[in-house]
Structure 1
Amino acid sequence: MQQQEKHSQSMVLGLQHLLAMYSGSILVPMMIGKALGYNTEQLTYLVSTDIFMCGLATFLQLQLNKYFGIGLPVVLGVAFQSVAPLTIIGQNHGSGAMFGALIASGIFVVLISGVFSKLAKFFPAIVTGSVITTIGLTLIPVAIGNMGGNVPDPTAGSLTLSLVTVAIILLINIFTKGFVKSISILIGLVIGTTLAAFMGLVDFAPVVKAPILHVPTPFYFGMPTFEFTSIFMMCVIAMVSMVESTGVYLALSDITNDPINETRLRNGYRAEGLAVLLGGIFNTFPYTGFSQNVGLVKMSGIKTRLPIYYAAGFLLLLGLLPKFGALAQIIPDPVIGGAMIVMFGFVSLQGMQMLACVDFANNEHNFLIAAVSIAVGVGFNNSNLFNSLPTEFSMFFKNGIVMASILAVALNAILNRKKK
C-alpha cells in the first residue's frame, strides 16, 4: 500500500514536471518551423516528435551507469540558444544542413565529454552570465515580431491579445507561488488562446487534420547534408548548452545531497550528446537541462528520480499522439509573442543574476569581458554589416549567441589568465 502511494505521488509530481517544461518545448519548434516556412503537417510532426524526443533525452540522462547519464532528477528540453543558429542554417542551406549539423555536433559532444568535464574553470560566471544574458536579449525581437502577428501593420486585436497574455502571466507570478507560479507561461498560453477563440482568431484545422497516432521517422525532412560552417556553429552552441547543463547538474547535486565527480559529469555530457545526435536523426532539435524543473525538485522536497521517470514516460506518450502536438499550432502568434516576451525576459534576467555574483569591484577586466561580449552578441545579431561577405561567413558573424560565446571565453582566457 505504501509503495502504491509512493508511485501515485511520483506520478502527480511527474505530471507537474511535464507541465513546467511543456511551454518551452513547444515554442522552440514552432519558432523554428514557422521561420523556415514548414506547412501544417510538417509542424505537427516537428512538435510531436520534439515532445517524444524530450522524453527519450530525459530517460537517457536519468541513467546511472559507467557509460552515460548523470543519474540526477533532471528534465531535458529544447535549448533556447539553438533557435537563432538553426533558423539561420535552415534559411541559408536548407533543412538537410540544419539536421546534419545537429548530428555532427551530437557526435562532437560525445567525443569531448571527458575533456569538457575537466574544463569548468574556463566557464566561470562571467562567461556563462554574459552568454545567457545575450541569449535572452537576442530572442526578444522575435517575441516582439510575434506580438504584432508578424505582419507589417499589427491590428489592435493582435496587440490586445499579446498584452492580455503578458498581463495574465505577470498576475500569476505576482499573486501565486509554488507550482502554479512555475507554469505561469503555460497558463498564459491557454487563457490567451481561449480569448482568441472567442474573437474568432483560432483555426482548429491542424488538430482536426492531425492523425491519431504516429511514430517518429528518421530523416523525415530528407537526408542530412554536412556543411562546415553550420557544423562549427552548432558545435559552439552545443558547448554553450553543456555549460548551461553544468549549472543544472551542480544545482541538483546540491539540492539532492548527491555529489557528482568528473566521471558523472562526463556521462551527463555523453547523454546530452546522444540526445542531440538522436534529435538530428529524427529531425528535431538539441536538448539541455531545464532549470525551471530544478525549482520544482526543490519545492516538492522529493529528491528521487522516480517522478522524472514518470515525466519522461508522459512525454514519450504525448509525442506519439500528434493531436497534442497540433494543439500548439492553434495558438495565435500574438499570444505566443506575449508568452515569449516574458520567457525571454526571464532568460535575460537569469544571466544578469549570474553576472551579479561576479567580482567587478576587484577585477576591472570582468567589465570588459561582459560589456564587449554582450554588446557584440546583441549588436551583430541579424545585422546587415556582413551582407557583403560569403554566406558561410555572414551567417556565422550574424549569429549573436555564437559571437558572444566565443568572445566571452576568449577574453576571459586572455584577460583573467593570471587569476587562474
Structure 2
Amino acid sequence: MSSSNNELIYDLHDNPALLPALTAAFQHLLASFVGVITPTLIVTSSLGLTEHTPYLISMALFVSGIGTAIQTKRIGPVGSGLVAIQGTSFAFISALILAGSQVKASGGTSEDVLALLFGLTMAGALVEIVFSLFVSRLQRIITPLTTGIVITAIGLSLINVGMTDLAGGFNADDFASTDNLLVGLGVLLIIVFLNAATNHWLRLSAIFIGMAVGAIYIALTKGLDFNGLSSLSIVAIPTPFAYGIDFDINLFLPVALIYLFSAIETAGDLTANSLFCKQPVSGPVYLKRIKGGILGDGVNSLLAGMFNTFPNTTFGQNNGVIQLTGIASRKVGFFVAGLFVFIGCFPIVGGVLQAIPKPVLGGATLVMFAMVAVGGLKLLASYALDRRSSLVTACALGIAIGVMMVPQALAQLPSWLENILLSPVTSAGLTAVILELTLPGKKVNDISEMKPTQKSSTPVRAIVGMQTKAEDVSSLFSAKAR
C-alpha cells in the first residue's frame, strides 16, 4: 500500500489484493458501461439496424475490454500505462449516421451499411495512429493553461450526462419526477459520506454501496425491468469482419477530422488521469504516456472496426472513480478489461447491468464527473492567472458552457462542423488554442513559470502531481462530450 500520498490508497504501481482490486474494477465498469453501449444503441436505432443491436453491443463491450488491457499494459509503444478505460466514442455518432443514411438512400442493405461504417472506422484509425507520431511537436498549443481549461470542460460536459440520468434518463416518461430526484440525490449523498470516511474499505466501496442501496430501494418500491433478457443470446462469439468491409472517400473526411479531435481529447483525459494518479503532467515521461495513449486509441479503433463495432476512445468518466476510490493501480485496469470481455461474450450479464435504474446511475456518475471538473479548477486556481490567461480561460469556458446551454446556435453550420463543435470540450479546446496562438502577451509555456496564488507548505509541484521539472510541457484540449 502506498504511503507516499494520503489521497491514494493504492498508487499506479501498487498491487492491491484481489477483493479491493475487484471492487474498484466493478465500480469502473458501472461508471462506463452505459457510455460504452449507448453510441451503438443510437446508431443502430437511427439507421434501422435494430436486429443487429444485441451482437453489436456485445462486440462494443468485448473491444472495450481488449482496448483497456492494451492501454493499461502498454505493449511496446502502444498504450499509456494508466488505468485508461476504452469505450465507444460519442463524437462519431452524427458522422456515422450520415454515412449510413447515404448508403440506405442508395438502396444498400443493413449489411452494406455496417460494412461501410466499419471500413470508415478502420481507415480513420490510421489517421489517429499517424497523428500520435507528432504529439511531441505540438508544445506551442499544448500549454499548462489549456490543460486546466480542458480538464474543466471535460468535467462540465460529463455533468450534463450525469444530471440527465439522475432525473430519469433521456426521453424517460417520468423524467424529473420527485422520486427520481430523491433516489439520485440519495445515492449521491451515500457515496459522498462514505468517501469521506477514514475506513479505506468504505471509501473504495462507496460507489458500489451507493448504487446497490438505490437499486434495492427501486426494486422494492417499483421493481426492476428485466424483460429484455429473454431476447438475448447466451453467448456472443467475436467474429472479425462479420459484415464485410467497405469504404467511400466522400464520406471519409468528416470521420477523419473527428479522429483528430478525438486524439486531442484523449490527451486531455490522460492528463487528468495522470493528475489524479499523482504522475507527472509534463516532461518526457508524460509525453511518452500521451503519445502511447493516442497510439493506443488508434490501434484499438482499428480493432473495433475489425470486430464489428465503432471507433474507440479513452473515457474521462473513470478519472473520477480513481479520485473517489483512491485506487490508481494498473492491476485494477486488467480486472476492468477482463470484466468487459466477459460481459461482451455473455450478453445476458450486460443485460442485467442495463437494468440498473437511470436515477441510481446518475446519482453515482454526477459526483464522479464533478470531481473531474474540480481537478481542472484546482489546476487553474493553484496559480495566479494574469490578464491574458484570464481572458483565454473566460472565453474558452464561456463558449463551452454556451454550446451546452444553447446548442441550436450552431444549427446553421455544415453538419460535419456542427457535430464537431457541439462538443463543449472541442469548443473550449479550439478556443483556447486559437487564443494561445494569436492573443498578444507573454504565454506561460511551462508550469514552473506560473506563480502560485499564495504561499503554502505544500509545494506547487505536489499540487499538480509533478515529479520533475518540466522541460517539455504538454496539456490537453478535448474533442467530445459524453
Q: What do residues 181-203 of structure 1 show as CA deviations (whole Å, max 9, x unaligned)? A: 24533433332222211123411
SS in 1 for 2:165: helix
Gap regions ≥5 residues in structure 2: 1-14, 101-112, 446-482
Mapped partners of 2:253, 2:234: distance in 1: 39
Mapped partners of 1:176, 1:54: distance in 2: 33
Residue of structure 1 equivalent to 2:136: 117
Does 2:235 correspond to 1:204?
no
Q: Any conservation in 2 of the 1:18–1:315 contact (CA below 8 Å)?
A: no
For residue 233 of structure 1, report the CA deviation from its aligned partner.
2.6
Mapped partners of 1:66, 1:147: distance in 2: 41
Which of 369, 377, 396 aligns to 2:400? It is 377
Amino acid at match of 2:83: V
Mapped partners of 2:275, 2:294: distance in 1: 13
For residue 368 of structure 1, report the CA deviation from its aligned partner.
1.2
Mapped partners of 1:50, 1:404: distance in 2: 29
Mapped partners of 2:288, 2:156: distance in 1: 34
Mapped partners of 1:352, 1:79: distance in 2: 26
Does 2:181 correspond to 1:159?
yes
Residue of structure 2 equivalent to 1:29: 36
Q: Any conservation in 1 of the 2:236–2:345 contact (CA below 8 Å)?
A: yes
Change beyond 3 A, Cα 1:399–1:287: closer
SS in 2 for 1:75: coil
Mapped partners of 1:180, 1:403: distance in 2: 38
Residue of structure 2 equivalent to 1:390: 414
Mapped partners of 1:228, 1:241: distance in 2: 20
Mapped partners of 1:177, 1:280: distance in 2: 44
Mapped partners of 1:222, 1:186: distance in 2: 40
Residue of structure 2 equivalent to 1:340: 365
Mapped partners of 1:417, 1:335: distance in 2: 47
For residue 275 of structure 1, report the CA deviation from its aligned partner.
1.5
Residue of structure 2 equivalent to 1:5: none
Change beyond 3 A, Cα 1:310–1:332: closer
Q: Any conservation in 2 of the 1:172–1:180 contact (CA below 8 Å)?
A: yes
Q: Any conservation in 2 of the 1:166–1:188 contact (CA below 8 Å)?
A: yes
SS in 1 for 2:85: strand
Mapped partners of 1:181, 1:42: distance in 2: 40
Residue of structure 2 equivalent to 1:325: 350
Mapped partners of 1:125, 1:88: distance in 2: 32
Gap regions ≥5 residues in structure 1: 1-7
Mapped partners of 1:161, 1:264: distance in 2: 39
Q: What do residues 191-230 of structure 1 show as CA deviations (whole Å, max 9, x unaligned)? A: 2222211123411123343222212345678867644234
Change beyond 3 A, Cα 1:43–1:339: farther
**Given the two structures, how large is their TM-score scaled by the length of structure 1?**
0.79
SS in 2 for 1:117: helix
Change beyond 3 A, Cα 1:65–1:86: closer
Mapped partners of 1:288, 1:157: distance in 2: 33
Which of 12, 15, 23 aligns to 2:22? It is 15
Name the stretch that deviates more: 179-188 or 49-58: 179-188
Mapped partners of 1:196, 1:43: distance in 2: 27
Q: Judging by fraction of residues, say which structure has more helix.
A: 1
- Written as runs of structure 1 = structure 2, the 5 A alignment for 1:184-333 is 184-218=206-240, 226-246=251-271, 248=273, 254=279, 260=285, 266-281=291-306, 282-288=308-314, 290-291=318-319, 308-309=333-334, 311-333=336-358
Q: What do residues 387-412 of structure 1 show as CA deviations (whole Å, max 9, x unaligned)? A: 23332333333332211111112222
Change beyond 3 A, Cα 1:142–1:252: closer
Amino acid at match of 2:227: A
Change beyond 3 A, Cα 1:33–1:118: same
For residue 369 of structure 1, report the CA deviation from its aligned partner.
1.3
Residue of structure 1 equivalent to 2:463: none
Mapped partners of 1:57, 1:25: distance in 2: 14
Change beyond 3 A, Cα 1:106–1:179: farther
For residue 22 of structure 1, report the CA deviation from its aligned partner.
0.9
Q: Any conservation in 1 of the 2:204–2:326 contact (CA below 8 Å)?
A: no
SS in 2 for 1:216: coil
Mapped partners of 1:176, 1:43: distance in 2: 44
SS in 1 for 2:438: helix
Does 2:376 correspond to 1:368?
no
* Identity fraction in percent: 24
Q: What do residues 290-326 of structure 1 show as CA deviations (whole Å, max 9, x unaligned)? A: 53576699758xx7x6665455344433332212211
Q: What's the RMSD between the two structures over aligned residues?
A: 3.8
Residue of structure 2 equivalent to 1:60: 70
Change beyond 3 A, Cα 1:87–1:344: farther
Which of 135, 150, 155 aligns to 1:131? It is 150
Change beyond 3 A, Cα 1:47–1:366: farther
SS in 1 for 2:409: coil
Does 2:411 correspond to 1:401?
no
Name the stretch that deviates more: 97-106 or 13-22: 97-106
SS in 1 for 2:362: helix
Change beyond 3 A, Cα 1:220–1:156: farther
For residue 28 of structure 1, report the CA deviation from its aligned partner.
0.7
- Written as runs of structure 1 = structure 2, the 5 A alignment for 1:84-95 is 85-89=91-95, 94=100
Mapped partners of 2:360, 2:246: distance in 1: 33
Change beyond 3 A, Cα 1:78–1:261: closer
**Given the two structures, how large is their TM-score scaled by the length of structure 2?**
0.70
Q: Any conservation in 2 of the 1:29–1:50 contact (CA below 8 Å)?
A: yes
Name the stretch that deviates more: 43-52 or 227-236: 43-52
Amino acid at match of 1:57: G
Mapped partners of 1:44, 1:21: distance in 2: 22
Mapped partners of 1:285, 1:251: distance in 2: 26
Change beyond 3 A, Cα 1:117–1:124: same
Q: Any conservation in 1 of the 2:140–2:437 contact (CA below 8 Å)?
A: no
Change beyond 3 A, Cα 1:49–1:366: same
Q: Any conservation in 1 of the 2:121–2:301 contact (CA below 8 Å)?
A: yes
Change beyond 3 A, Cα 1:261–1:199: closer
SS in 1 for 2:285: coil
